[in-house]
Amino acid sequence: SVKQTKFGELPILVIQHKSCCAAVSLQGAHLLFWQPSTEQTPVIWLSKQSKFEKGIAIRGGVPICWPWFGPLGTPSHGFARIVEWTLDSCNEDDDGVDLVLVLSNNQQTKPYFDKPFNVSLKIHLGKTCEVALSCSGEFEATSALHTYFGIDNINHVVVKGLGDTYQDRLTVENKPVTIGQMTFNQEVDRIYTNANTEITISDNVRTIKLTTTNASDVVTWNPWIDKAKAMADFCDDEYQSMVCVEAGRINKPLKLSLNEQSTYGFKIELI
């Protein structure tokens, strides 16, 4: 079933299916969490302290960073995640639930951006979770599907398939112990520029497979202790139960045209 309700100030869709449960905020077309029925904890994770206020980014889930990534514009990570999208279609079958949410330039987006655009997000929620962003316009966009994965403990996490070329966004570089693998023992904020299309995120409980489509980069982030303390929408100890592994188009921006869609995305499954 798909039911619309409100959580805090935001309209959200609650999905209950035999294969999974999930929720999507219409603000930001923001998949809040996804938990397959086989799992005891969400695979896509949401902070217990996230805000649910109009115009405020939600902490966790899959923030849609578009039409720019990070500090390449204001607000950071773009405006798509803080404005309300429209539910275009919603279908449920034995496999799961398929949603399409859309956003075009309008009064809400005017203060942030003055060019015409269309962007849509396809979300499949079932035994797998698939997210694809398609957009058109007459500009170059950078973007990331900023997924927060739920893990048992950051000290047990190994991310494989990242390749060994990356841009470190921190001054104190955290040299990976094994090239192409990622383990975490301090803050990590890195853009991998030559990752495999299949990446695994393992902890002591499960292995998540992330398959990216048409992505140029994979961002890995964990705020660690100090940054976690500094975030009002994030509990001090929550850095231990999440890791961000994000399919992105940062170093190869989406070159948009008005008459065709540029698409990239990911699929998540448990293996």
Q: How many residues bind ligand TA6 (CB under 6 A)?
A: 12
Residue 230 Cβ, how far from ligand TA6 at the closest point, in Å?
10
187 tagged catalytic: no
Instruction: Give dist(CA 106, CA 89) in Å, integer.
Output: 20
146 annotated active-site: yes
Helix H segments across 82-232?
Answer: 224-230
Distance (Å) of CA 137 to CA 79, 230, 257, 265:
15, 37, 5, 18
Interaction between residue 186 and ligand TA6 (CB under 6 A): no
By the 10 Å C-beta count (0-12 exposed, 13-18 middle, 19+ buried), 39 is classed as middle
**Gap between the Cα atoms of 246 and 248, Å rounded:** 6
The amino acid at residue 154 is I
Find the part of the chain contacting ligand TA6 (CB under 6 A) among 69-77, 86-94, 99-107, 123-131: 69-77
Phi first, then psi: what are they for 231, rounded to 5°? -95, 120
Which C-beta is closer to ligand TA6: that of 63 or that of 150?
63
Binding to ligand TA6, residues 240-259 (CB under 6 A): 244, 246
Q: Pick from 88, 81, 71: which is nearest to 109 by CA? A: 81
77 versus 249: smaller Cβ distance to ligand TA6: 77
Query: What secondary structure letter does DSSP report for 82?
Result: G
Query: Does the protein bind ligand TA6 through residue 76 (CB under 6 A)?
Result: yes
Locate 49 and state its tokens: 């302290």
Q: In the structure encoding, which two tokens stand for residue 82, read together?
A: 């803080």
By the rule CB under 6 A, 121 interacts with ligand TA6: no
136: alpha, beta or left? (left if phi > 0; alpha if psi -120 to 50):
beta
* List 130, 187, 238, 246, catalytic entry: 246
Q: Among the candidate windows 70-78, 117-125, 148-156, 201-209, which touches ligand TA6 by CB under 6 A?
A: 70-78
Residue nearest to ligand TA6 (CB): 221
Question: Which H or E element spans position 191?
Answer: strand 188-192
Cβ within 8 Å of residue 11, ≥6 positions away: 4, 5, 25, 26, 27, 84
Is 30 or 206 the residue whose CB approaches ligand TA6 more closely?
A: 30
Out of 13, 57, 151, 218, the residue judged to bind ligand TA6 by CB under 6 A: 57
> Which of 51, 160, 169, 252 forms a contact with ligand TA6 (CB under 6 A)?
169
Phi and psi angles of residue 152, each rounded to the nearest 5 degrees, phi first:
-80, -40
Binding of ligand TA6 at residue 28 (CB under 6 A)? no
Q: By CB under 6 A, name the one of 30, 77, 124, 249 that touches ligand TA6.
A: 77
Give whichever of 104 and 193 is closer to ligand TA6, judged by the CB atom. 193
Q: What is the smallest separation between the CB atom of 243 and ligand TA6, expressed in angstroms?
A: 11
Catalytic residue among 77, 146, 187, 238: 146
Decide whether 16 or 165 has the Cβ nearer to ligand TA6: 165
The catalytic residue positions are: 146, 246
Give residues in contact with ligand TA6 (CB under 6 A): 57, 63, 70, 76-77, 146, 169, 189, 219, 221, 244, 246
